[in-house]
């Protein structure tokens, strides 16, 4: 069996992606981009040697390698991609490697077919790369046409006979930089074969590419959060009693630091639960005077904003009010409409219902009421 190695180039900053961390470490779904790439590479081929080329200030790779159950496979890259690949090639000098595959960490959609075609090509060639034809018309900046039939879009992984490409890099790439590794092979006069690429094997480069990759990976998942809240009746106040954002004039109110809207509190906690983001008391503690008498829709809007930040979309909410009084049915439609407006949901996805405890417990004695809620969220 041919002794093969993988060099995964992950030392770049990915500035065009417009992210706070290098693009290869951005989360797509529940995993980092580089993790998706490495998992697909390992599923596609059995490598005897793996080298992940990283920058000197990389603080993320150790967690990635631990997730993948890999260790001692990193090597430091250089100031350019060419220098980083040379570093990876140098690190294999004392191994038995015959073939080496060089791949960009930001191309997560590599397949077994791609690698098998490249491996087969090395039986008659020194180097191989997957390419795609160009569908669009090509023009120079002065408007002249370019024959697209003679051009191809090159992808990675690119495959080489190790000794040949290492020698080519040492002779041609210690001072010069190249667009890719096939360019070094061409400069060295190596025999090159082009295989068929795959359109989905694109390189995540720009901000919009992350959404595209997430959709292709089908990383969406559904989460359900639950919330529960209790408030005591305050018969000393004639202020309206607020439930699900609707004022009810019943001669008493609910006691609490804010407006004590148990329905919205439970719903807020349900959304925070789906986010695994603590509870309402963590973000709006009753000890903080700024929330004295606050309208509870502020809390719900906060949770909805956090949901949006996480690429989550609320799908359905269900609120159950548990009380002997006041009567909920006359106000239920108004409650549903208010929640639907706040959550920007169609009315058909908002449920509000009521029940009693058959005169049992504190709600049965008319001392207060409780609310429970569930929120169904889709994350992409």
What is the per-residue pLDDT across 271-289, written as a single tens digit (0 to 9) for each? 999 999 999 999 999 888 8
In the chain, % helix, strand, coil (3-state, to 5) comes to: 35, 25, 40
Cβ(7)–Cβ(51) below 8 Å? yes
> In CATH, what number is assigned to the domain containing residue 193?
3.90.550.10
Stated pTM of the model? 0.61
Separation of alpha carbons 298 and 234, rounded Å: 23
Which residue segment(s) compose the domain that 116 sits in? 4-217
State pLDDT tens for residues 35-94: 999 999 999 999 999 999 999 999 999 999 998 988 779 999 999 999 999 999 999 999
pLDDT band of residue 28 (cuts 50, 70, 90) is confident
β-strand pairing of 74-76 with 31-32: unpaired
Domain boundary, last residue among 217, 250, 275:
217
For residue 343, count other CB atoms closer than 10 A to its CB: 21
Is the per-residue pLDDT at 18 higher than 60? no
Residue 16 has pLDDT above 60, yes or no: no
DSSP structural state of residue 238: -
pLDDT digits (tens, 9 = 90+) for 227-276: 999 999 999 998 999 999 999 999 999 999 899 999 999 999 999 999 99
User: Among residues 217, 235, 268, which one ends one of the domains?
Assistant: 217
Do 129 and 12 belong together in one domain? yes
Let me know whether 190 and 313 are in one domain: no
Distance CA 345, CA 377 (A): 12
Domain boundary among 199, 217, 235: 217
Q: 308 and 210, same structural domain?
A: no
8 Å CB contact between 228 and 269: yes
- Asked if 182 and 61 sit in the same domain, the reply is yes
- The residues, ordered by sequence, that sit 6+ positions from 6 with a Cβ below 8 Å of its Cβ are 41, 45, 47, 49, 50, 51, 100, 101, 103, 157
What pLDDT, in 10s, does the model give residues 348-367? 999 999 999 999 999 999 99
Lookup: tokens for 375: 């929120």
CATH number at residue 238: 3.30.1330.50
């Amino acid at each position: 069996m041919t002794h093969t190695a993988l060099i995964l180039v992950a030392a770049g900053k990915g500035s065009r992606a417009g992210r706070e961390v290098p693009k290869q470490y951005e989360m797509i779904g529940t995993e980092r981009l580089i993790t998706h790439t490495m998992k697909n590479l390992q599923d596609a081929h059995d490598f005897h040697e793996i080298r992940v080329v990283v920058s000197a200030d990389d603080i993320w790779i150790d967690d990635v390698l631990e997730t993948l159950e890999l260790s001692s496979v990193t090597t430091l890259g250089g100031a350019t991609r060419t220098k980083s690949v040379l570093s990876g090639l140098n690190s294999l000098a004392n191994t038995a490697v015959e073939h080496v595959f060089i791949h960009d960490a930001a191309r997560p959609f590599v397949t077994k077919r791609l690698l098998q075609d490249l491996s087969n090509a090395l039986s008659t060639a020194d180097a191989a790369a997957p390419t795609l034809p160009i569908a669009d018309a090509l023009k120079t900046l002065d408007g002249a046409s370019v024959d697209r039939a003679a051009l191809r879009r090159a992808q990675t992984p690119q495959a080489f006979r190790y000794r040949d490409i290492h020698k080519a890099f040492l002779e041609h790439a210690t001072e010069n930089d190249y667009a890719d590794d096939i360019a070094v092979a061409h400069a060295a006069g190596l025999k090159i074969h082009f295989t068929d690429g795959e359109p989905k094997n694109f390189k995540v480069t720009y901000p919009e590419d992350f959404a595209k990759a997430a959709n292709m990976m089908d990383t969406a998942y559904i989460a359900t959060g639950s919330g529960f809240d209790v408030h005591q009746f305050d018969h000393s106040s004639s202020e309206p009693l607020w439930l699900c954002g609707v004022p009810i004039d019943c001669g008493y109110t609910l006691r609490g630091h804010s407006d004590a809207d148990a329905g919205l509190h439970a719903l807020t906690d349900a959304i925070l639960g789906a986010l695994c983001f603590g509870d309402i008391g963590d973000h709006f503690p009753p000890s903080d005077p700024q929330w004295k008498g606050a309208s509870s829709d502020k809390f719900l809007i906060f949770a909805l904003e956090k949901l949006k930040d996480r690429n989550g979309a609320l799908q359905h909410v269900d609120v159950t009010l548990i009380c002997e009084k006041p009567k909920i049915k006359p106000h239920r439609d108004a409650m549903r409409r208010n929640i639907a407006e706040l959550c920007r949901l169609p009315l058909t996805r908002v449920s509000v219902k009521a029940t009693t405890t058959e005169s049992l417990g504190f709600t049965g004695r008319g001392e207060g009421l409780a609310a429970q809620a569930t929120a169904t969220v889709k994350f992409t």
